[in-house]
A and B are shown apart, each in its own frame.
Chain A
Amino acid sequence: MKPADFDFISSMVRERSGLVLSADKTYLVESRLAPIARKDGFGSIDDLISAIRIRRDARLIEAVVDAMTTNETFFFRDKTPFDIFEQTILPDLVARKRGGTIKIWCAAASTGQEPYSLAMIADSLGPKLGGCRLEILGTDISERCLEKAKAGIYTQFEVQRGLPVQMLLKYFKKDGDSWKIDDRLKASIRFRTMNLLDDFRALGRFDVIFCRNVLIYFDMPTKKMVLERMAQQVDGPGYLLLGAAETVMGVTDAFKPVAGSRGLYVQDPAKIGAKAAA
């Protein structure tokens, strides 16, 4: 892959998704573009890139951006955020909401394992929810991933990563070689395509935002922009959960860390208010 082609692809991907591809990722780009080139009948990656340069084919561009995003996920991934959700976030919201609706946004829902894990936790809490109901929105830049999330159908391999067998028994039905998630859980989740670089005010307001393992792929100004816009979308004070390798520290003061709960941040109303007044 020629350096000029790498620059072209990386700036296109960055402009459309925020994803930063440094020059050491050339091999990664090549290995992910090769299947697209093959599938669309191009003789090589070079031919694919030339076609994009000339035709600006929206479908091909989307396929390239989609291929460069990382969709790695599994049920109850990293476990800790889910323990925090169950033991810290939900009890607080249940007390505050008094039987109302708890709104959750999974901002990088990928193939759906994260929102479904949250729905399983809420369902198994039963009466401890004090009559509150959960409304979960799962968004992702990848339409291909969301299709799978909406279907709620997983392979035998996927239901064995992170998912306790009791949860499998309780919330899945076997469907041939696949496993289909319970319709009741599906009913509490909506999925829609959303690029975090776009205006997301129309999504409404939330009590909790899960945005794990996304910011690590963004540059500093993009991280700051996304976090500060998220701070405007949570009600208060609303929660934010980031991935284990991510932090708001040194990026923005719109959220502050919650002591003792790794990866958990809470909106700082003082800072938001100060900004609005300024």
Chain B
Amino acid sequence: MKTCLVVDDSRVIRKVARRILEDLSFHVEEAGDGSEALNFCRGNMPDAILLDWNMPVMNGIDFLRQLRKDPGGDRPVVVFCTTENDISAIAQAIESGANEYIMKPFDSEIVQSKFAEVGLVVPA
């Protein structure tokens, strides 16, 4: 079973994402900000990360840049999941090492479509 780390400061979003990802047969772990997520990854690198942008302590983009420098940090497939929907934000995320990008609001269909795009699940 693949592990997906859901990084979002909203408990509600984490809960929604968890339900969708568990339906896609992922084992789900949660982190409330980038710093917590980094600690988690340093102990146990997940297969996939669903990553919010704006969070307290450490935001998503700073987390991602740090992760990609860490040993083994190039391995997880990172899918941003954020309300940031400007072209420049999306481009910045991709340049920083994100594999895919979800603009909130999202639903299970979008998550499945994007995860299929990066080979994490089989297409619907």
Contacts and interface: CB of A to CB of B under 8 A. Distances in A.
A, B bound: yes
B85 interface: yes
Chain B contact-residue range equals 10 to 19
A162 interface: yes
Interface stretch (A19-27, A32-40, A163-171, A251-259): A163-171
Contacts, number: 34
A166 B100 CA distance: 8
Contact of B85 (A79, A161, A174): A174
B49 to A, nearest CB: 15
Interface in B70-124: 85-87, 90-91, 94, 100-103, 106, 109-110, 113-114, 117, 123
A160 B112 CA distance: 10
A157 B94 CA distance: 20
A121 B5 CA distance: 33
A161 B91 CA distance: 19
Nearest to B117: A164
Contact of B90 (A79, A157, A161, A165): A165
A44 B117 CA distance: 45
Given A79-B123, A160-B103, A174-B86, A165 B94 contact: yes
A168 B114 CA distance: 13
Contacts of B117: 164-165
A161 B124 CA distance: 11
A79 B123 CA distance: 9
Nearest to B103: A156
B103 A161 contact: no
A148 interface: no
B69 to A, nearest CB: 22
Nearest to B118: A164
Given A156-B103, A169-B94, A162 B87 contact: no
Contacts of B100: 164-165
A168 B90 CA distance: 9
A156 B117 CA distance: 17
B94 A162 contact: no
A165 B89 CA distance: 12
Contacts of B103: 156, 160
A205 B103 CA distance: 41
A169 B90 contact: yes
A56 interface: no
Interface string A175-216: 000000000000000000000000000000000000000000
B86 A161 contact: no
A161 B109 contact: yes
Contact of A161 (B94, B101, B110): B110
Contact of A174 (B87, B106, B110): B87
A232 B87 CA distance: 45
Nearest to A177: B85
Interface string B38-50: 0000000000000
A173 interface: yes
B110 A157 contact: yes
A166 B87 contact: no
Contacts of A162: 113
Contacts of B102: 160
A129 B123 CA distance: 28
A166 B113 contact: no
Interface of A: 78-79, 156-157, 160-162, 164-166, 168-169, 173-174
5 contacts: A78-B123, A161-B110, A169-B91, A173-B87, A174-B86
Q: Which 8 A-B pairs have the closest CB atoms?
A: A165-B101, A160-B110, A161-B113, A164-B117, A156-B103, A165-B100, A174-B87, A162-B113
Interface of B: 85-87, 90-91, 94, 100-103, 106, 109-110, 113-114, 117, 123
